[in-house]
Amino acid sequence: GKPNHDPEIAKLEQDVLERVNELGIGPLGFGGNTTALAVHAETMPTHIASLPVAVNIQCHSVRHRETVV
């Protein structure tokens, strides 16, 4: 993938990637410096009551977690 064409969103993507990798979780949660290879954000106009959010974390067979946002 490529960084978002909007410089503000591209900076957000980079900031999130750096913060995720600073957590030290690593591949499959075994520790390490690389937890995420990339972060991509897309924006579209939407009503605040229906703000969609998606997070994809590795393989479903390895990790399964649900939360209400």
The end-to-end CA distance of the chain, in Å, is 26
Q: pLDDT tens for residues 32-63?
A: 999 889 999 988 888 888 877 777 766 655 55
* Cβ-contact 23, 35 below 8 angstroms: yes
Average pLDDT over residues 2-27: 94
CA 23, 27, 31, 33 dihedral sign is: negative
Q: What is the mean pLDDT of residues 28-33?
A: 86
Task: Please tell me the predicted confidence (pLDDT) of residue 22.
Answer: 95
Q: What is the pLDDT of residue 5?
A: 96
Q: How far apart are CA 61 and CA 18, in angstroms?
A: 26
